């Protein structure tokens, strides 16, 4: 009987679930020869914006001539998006070889003691970064911070983006509890940068930083508007400022032209990403909690003013889809409700009643491909009269499914 392909084996470990704690991760890294000890890392936690901060930091450092590693999650289409080396996805050959080393390192581990999917992927990233000779590594936490697998990485500096209520089943029911988990990435003598926070969050972060002896920098102002950014939205100017402050805290001083180049050329799929389908504009955004959705609405107003959209919306049931949709409805002239391709998906029928009858047209579809056929049709030329932009949002799963459809392939299953 043929063996399971390495990537398939790794993806199947998602069934092991989420088990916060560092013991399994430390054991796994030791079995691999502790590759993380050779890394110099910038570590980013937070609820919203941490991926963008990582992308800005990586882009600026590469523009300054550093060979970087970038570790983020989840992926949208291709698993290799999680592990980028010098701006490019890790090769399939390197990933396969790395997974085989993971299999060998964990051979014989008893059931119930096996590392989780995220622990395995994090160890894989550390291993590949060392083998690729990455001078600096930018790491996004997966869940929380204190007990997250990424917290085993040695760090030069760290940052915490705005903290909001999310993953409350794991991190706590209040902002203070969640902030304390995020602050678990602080280390004695290692500088930490924090974005503007709710007062109760800032109080906790400041307290933990003082307790641990972590020098703290508060980013109060966004980057100047005259500096071009590769990502849309005024909130991205704050993310860029946090990224630059973290780079500086780590002891690096990129030349102004490298900063300008890195900020302008940064790319981060699924974050107000613009595409054109049959001459009609499509915006993809993976906002999936209330804080992120409010930022998305603000960005829409900045970019389009009072112009309304055709809204394609799908969400996971545990992300309060009703509240997310309520934020978006003022933007929509038409709503297409679609089921996300996930066992955790909310039922579009349960959301239809939220749309005021007669005020906004609403339609339910079973699949995203059906939604695209109905919204875009088969038109290949630009219409004579402009039509409303299409905004697809509510879940990174949904964005990944859309990007996969455009590429003509199938996305690799992923966790959000």
What are the residues whose beta carbons fall under 8 Å from the beta carbon of 374, sequence distance 6 or more?
336, 363, 365
Residue length of the chain: 416
pLDDT at 412: 40
The secondary structure of the chain in percent helix, strand, coil, rounded to multiples of 5, reads: 45, 15, 40
Give the model's pLDDT for residue 351. Answer: 86
Nearest to 387 by CA among 336, 334, 337, 338: 334
Q: DSSP character for 33?
A: T
DSSP secondary structure of 51-90: HHHHHHHHHHHHHTT--EEEE-S--SS-GGGGEEETTEEP
Q: Tell me which CATH code domain 273-407 carries.
A: 3.90.190.20
- Whether 236 and 243 have beta carbons less than 8 Å apart is answered as no
pLDDT number for residue 381? 43
Are 89 and 83 in contact, with CB atoms under 8 Å apart?
yes
Q: What is the pLDDT of residue 410?
A: 43
- Which residue ranges in the chain fall short of pLDDT 70? 1-2, 358, 378-386, 408-416
Ordered by start, the domain boundaries in the chain are: 6-265, 273-407
The two tokens of residue 14 are 């998602």
Structural tokens at position 105? 């390192």
HSE, CB side, 13 Å, CA atoms: give it for residue 377. Answer: 8
In tens, the pLDDT along 304-329 reads 999 999 999 999 988 899 999 999 99
Q: Is the peptide bond before 137 cis (omega within 30 degrees of 0)?
A: no
CATH class of this structure's domain 6-265: alpha beta
Six-digit token pair at 410?
């199938």
Distance CA 397, CA 252 (A): 36
Residue 401 and residue 391 in contact, taking contact as beta carbons nearer than 8 Å: no
Pairing of strands 136-140, 390-393: unpaired
CB-based contacts of 197: which residues, under 8 Å, 6+ apart?
A: 160, 162, 163, 179, 205
Per-residue pLDDT, 380: 46
Residue for token pair 């966790």:
415
Q: In b/e form, how buried is each residue of 346-360, taking b as 16+ CB within 10 angstroms?
A: bebeebeeebeeeeb
pLDDT of residue 408: 55
45 pairs with which residues across the strands? 160
Q: pLDDT tens-digit profile of 154-192?
A: 999 999 999 988 777 778 889 999 999 999 999 999 999
In whole angstroms, give the CA distance from residue 95 to residue 169.
Answer: 32
Is residue 177 within 8 Å of residue 145, measured between CB atoms? no
Q: Are 242 and 219 in contact (CB under 8 A)?
A: yes
Spatial contact of 179 and 199, defined as CB atoms under 8 Å apart: no
């Amino acid at each position: 009987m043929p063996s399971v392909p390495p990537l398939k084996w790794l993806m199947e470990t998602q069934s092991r679930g989420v088990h916060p704690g560092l013991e399994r991760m430390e054991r796994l890294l030791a079995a691999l020869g502790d590759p993380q000890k050779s890394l110099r890392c910038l570590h980013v936690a937070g609820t919203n914006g941490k991926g963008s901060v990582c992308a800005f930091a990586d882009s600026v450092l590469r523009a300054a001539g550093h060979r970087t590693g970038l570790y983020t999650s989840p992926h949208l289409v291709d698993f290799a998006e999680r592990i980028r080396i010098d701006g490019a996805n890790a090769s399939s050959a390197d990933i396969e070889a790395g997974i085989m080393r993971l299999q060998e390192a964990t051979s014989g581990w008893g059931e119930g003691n096996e590392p989780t999917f995220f622990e395995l992927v994090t160890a894989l990233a550390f291993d590949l970064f060392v083998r690729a000779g990455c001078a600096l590594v930018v790491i996004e936490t997966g869940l929380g911070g204190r007990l997250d697998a990424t917290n085993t990485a040695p760090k030069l500096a760290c940052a915490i983006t705005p903290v909001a209520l999310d993953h409350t089943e794991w991190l706590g029911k209040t902002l203070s509890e969640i902030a304390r988990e995020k602050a678990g990435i602080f280390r004695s003598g290692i500088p930490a940068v924090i974005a503007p926070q709710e007062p109760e969050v800032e109080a906790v972060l400041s307290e933990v930083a003082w307790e641990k002896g972590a020098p703290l920098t508060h980013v109060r102002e966004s980057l100047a508007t005259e500096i071009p950014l590769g990502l849309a939205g005024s909130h991205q100017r704050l993310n860029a400022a946090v990224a630059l402050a973290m780079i500086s805290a780590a002891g690096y001083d990129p030349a102004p032209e490298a900063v300008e180049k890195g900020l302008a050329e940064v790319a981060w799929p699924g974050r107000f990403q613009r595409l054109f389908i049959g001459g009609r504009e499509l915006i993809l955004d993976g906002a999936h909690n209330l804080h992120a959705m409010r930022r998305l609405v603000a960005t829409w107003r900045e970019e389009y003013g009072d112009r309304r959209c055709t809204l394609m919306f799908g969400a996971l049931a545990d992300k309060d889809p009703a509240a997310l949709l309520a934020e978006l409805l003022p933007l929509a002239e038409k709503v297409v409700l679609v089921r996300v391709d996930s066992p955790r998906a909310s039922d579009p029928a349960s959301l239809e009643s939220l749309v005021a009858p007669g005020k906004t047209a609403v339609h339910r579809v079973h699949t995203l491909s059906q939604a695209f056929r109905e919204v875009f049709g088969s038109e290949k030329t630009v219409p004579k009269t402009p039509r409303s932009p299409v905004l697809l949002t509510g879940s990174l799963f949904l964005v990944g499914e859309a990007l996969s459809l455009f590429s003509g392939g199938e996305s690799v299953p992923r966790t959000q």
